[in-house]
Amino acid sequence: MRLKRNGSYTLNRKSKGKPNGKKPAPEEKKLYLEPEYTKSRITDFEFKELVMLPREIDLNEWLASNTTTFFHHINLQYSTISEFCTGESCQTMAVCNTQYYWYDERGKKIKCTAPQYVDFVMSSVQKLVTDEDVFPTKYGKEFPNSFESLVKKICKYLFHVLAHIYSSHFKETLALELHGHLNTLYTHFILFIREFNLVDPKETTIMDDLTEVLCTSSGSSSNGSGNGSSGSSSGNSAAAQNHVKER
C-alpha cells in the first residue's frame, strides 16, 4: 500500500575552572524544563500507539511516510524562529555545550553557523524525499537497499534541528506561544525513532532530561529505551490505522 506523504498537524559540561581560581560560570537554567511549559501540548493522544507499525503496512512505507512528515513539520517549526537564528546570534550549530559540524559529499568537515547547518539539513533532506529512486511514491517501485540507513541519517539531522530550537530559541518559541506544538512534535518524533531504533541513543543523550519529562507521560518507558522492533504490529490499534488514512 502506498501512503500519501504529507503533514497532519495544524500549526496554531559545565566548563572547567580557569587557572586564576575563579569559579566557573553557573550553568544556564533550561527554560524548556519548567513544569508550566513541559505540560503544554496540542493533543493528549497516546503517541506510543501512533508510531507503531500497522499490520497491513510495509515497514519501508511506514518509515517513508513518517520521515517525510517529520521533515515538513520540523522545517515548519524552525521557520517560526528562523529570523532569530542568525549568523550573529548562532555562530555555531550548538546544543547546550555540544557543537555540530556538517560533512559535505566528500566527507569534508565544515564548521558553519546554525542557520547554515539547518539549511544544509533541509536542502539535503528535501532532495532525498523528492527523489523517486529513494522515496518512491508510485505503486510497484521498490525502495533502495540503503533506504533504512538514509532514514537514520535524516532522523539524526532532524533531531539536531529540534534540539537547537529548544536549546537556543525556546524563549522565542514561548513568546510565539508555539511551545505546545514544539513539545508535541518532539514527543512524537522521539517515540518514533525509538520504536524503530533510527537514532543512536548516544546521539540523543544531550536532550535526555527533556525526553524523560515529555515522553515518560506519553507511553515511553522511563529508562529511555524503546522496544526497537519493527515487529510491533501485533499491538496495532484502530487509532494507528486511522492515522494511516489521514496521510
What CATH number is associated with residue 199?
Answer: 1.20.140.30
Has residue 10 been placed in a domain?
A: no
Report d(CA 92, CA 176) in Å as an integer. Answer: 24
Read off the pLDDT band of 44 (50, 70, 90): confident
Has residue 235 been placed in a domain?
A: yes
For the cut 50, the answer to whether the pLDDT of residue 113 exceeds it is: yes
Mean pLDDT confidence for 22-26: 41
169 is in an annotated binding site: yes
90 is in an annotated binding site: yes
pLDDT value of position 89: 95
3-state DSSP assignment of residue 99: strand
Read off the pLDDT band of 221 (50, 70, 90): very low
Has residue 203 been placed in a domain?
A: yes
DSSP string, 157-193: HHHHHHHHHHHHHHHHHHHTT-HHHHHHHHHHHHHHH
pLDDT value of position 215: 87
| Domain interval for residue 72 | 31-246
73 is in an annotated binding site: no
For the cut 80, the answer to whether the pLDDT of residue 237 exceeds it is: no
For the cut 50, the answer to whether the pLDDT of residue 197 exceeds it is: yes
Residue 103 bridge partners (DSSP): 109
Split into its structural domains, the chain has a count of 1
Report d(CA 11, CA 70) in Å as an integer. Answer: 13
Read off the pLDDT band of 115 (50, 70, 90): very high
Has residue 111 been placed in a domain?
A: yes
Has residue 17 been placed in a domain?
A: no
At 161-187, the pLDDT tens digits run 999 999 999 999 999 999 999 999 999
Has residue 201 been placed in a domain?
A: yes
At 128-137, the pLDDT tens digits run 999 999 999 9
Number of neighbours of residue 141 by Cβ within 10 angstroms: 11
pLDDT value of position 28: 65
Backbone angles phi, psi at 95, to 5 degrees: -130, 115
Residue 110: exposure state from Cβ atoms within 10 A (0-12, 13-18, ≥19):
exposed
The amino acid occupying position 241 is Q
Place of cell 520521515: 67
243 is in an annotated binding site: no
- What is the overall mean pLDDT for the chain? 81
Mean pLDDT confidence for 19-31: 54
pLDDT value of position 2: 52
At 84-112, the pLDDT tens digits run 999 999 999 999 889 999 998 888 999 89
What pTM does this model have?
A: 0.78
Mean pLDDT confidence for 71-82: 97
Report d(CA 127, CA 124) in Å as an integer. Answer: 5
pLDDT value of position 218: 56
Has residue 25 been placed in a domain?
A: no
pLDDT value of position 43: 77
Mean pLDDT confidence for 210-222: 69
Read off the pLDDT band of 144 (50, 70, 90): very high
